[in-house]
Structure 1
Amino acid sequence: MDGRKTGGALDAAQLGAELGDRATLVQFSSAFCQPCRATRRTLAEVAAMVEGVAHVEIDAEANLELVRGLRISRTPTVLVLDAAGRIVRRAAGQPRTADVVSALGQAM
């Protein structure tokens, strides 16, 4: 995940799901996005491996206000949130497992 660092914070109401105790992987996807499917598998695997990490997938088309507010311009886009919901990493495109684990290290 070579995306830039960014500020801001998200909460459970905005995400439609609870934050992880230690970190949250937020994935913005669209229905016909092939890389989104692979990203879903990668993030779910990492969340299952690391205690206290949640994976939340958000349909970009159904949540345009949030997408615009966060300046999401393509899918998949992944945000890594710390325990307080602050955005600590952001990357567009399909991430590698090692990059996701590394980004989580910065969030926890």
Structure 2
Amino acid sequence: MEDSVRGRDDMRLGAEELGRELGERATLVQFSSAFCAPCRATRRVLDEVAGMVPGVVHVEMDAEKHLDLVRALKVESTPTVLVLDAAGRVVRRAAGQPRRVDVIAALGEAVG
């Protein structure tokens, strides 16, 4: 998650916005679109990491179906990944397909 921006988003996300409860320790939120090949690869990486780390969930959001949220979070491309802490605060974000090691490092910051 090299091109992440810290502290850019001060809004919190919760079950109402995501359509699912937050993870006990952290939540990986992925904004995707239907014809995005990197989105499929990103889904596999985030599912794998969420499965490895207890208390972490992966939530995939269709960007076209959640335009208000996309605009509020200034999501400009897909895939965009947000790492939320247990309280729903965005602690890291990145556009493009992340590497597994970078996702794990970002989770360390979220649960630390």
Compute the displacement of 1:100 (Å).
Answer: 0.1
Find the residue that maps to 1:61 and give its secondary structure: helix
Which residues of 2 match residues 1-108 of structure 1 at below 5 A? 1-2=1-2, 3-6=4-7, 7-108=10-111
Stretch deviating more after TM superposition (84-93 or 4-13): 4-13
The unaligned stretches of length 5 or more in structure 1 are: none
The TM-score with structure 2 as length reference comes to 0.95
Secondary structure class of the residue paired with 1:91: strand
Partner Cα separation in structure 2 for residue 83 and residue 62 of structure 1: 25
Gaps of 5+ in 2: none
Q: Distance in 2 between the 1:65 and 1:87 partners?
A: 17
TM-align CA RMSD: 0.5
Residue 23 (structure 1) shift: 0.2
Moved over 2 A (4+): none
